[in-house]
Amino acid sequence: MTLYINCCIRESSRTDRLARAVLQKLGGSFTELKLYEENPKPLDSKTLAKRTALIEQGDYSDSLFNYAKQFAAADIIVIAAPYWDLSFPAVLKIHLENIYVTGIVSEYDGNGKPHGLCKAKELYYVTTAGGPYDPTYSYGYIESLAKNFFGIPTTHLVKAEMLDIIGNDTEKILNREIEKWS
Q: Give strand ranges (E) for 117-153.
A: 122-128
Domain boundaries, the chain: 2-179
> How far apart, in whole angstroms, are the C-alpha atoms of residue 70 and residue 120?
11
The pLDDT assigned to 61 comes to 98
Q: Is the pLDDT of residue 62 over 90?
A: yes
Using pLDDT thresholds of 50, 70 and 90, give the confidence band for residue 41: very high
pLDDT of 65-124, one tens digit each? 999 999 999 999 999 999 999 999 999 999 999 999 999 999 999 999 999 999 999 999
Mean pLDDT of 134-156: 97
pLDDT score, position 9: 95
Note the pLDDT tens digit of each residue in 6-40. Answer: 999 998 999 999 999 999 999 989 999 999 999 99
Q: Are 14 and 171 in contact (CB under 8 A)?
A: no
Residue 182 has pLDDT above 90, yes or no: no
Please give the model's pTM, rounded to 2 decimal places.
0.96
- Let me know: does 127 contact 158? Beta carbons within 8 Å: yes
If one counts every other C-beta atom within 10 angstroms of the C-beta of residue 167, the result is 5
Spatial distance between the Cα atoms of 88 and 126, rounded to a whole number of angstroms: 11
Domain 2-179 fold: Rossmann fold (3.40.50)
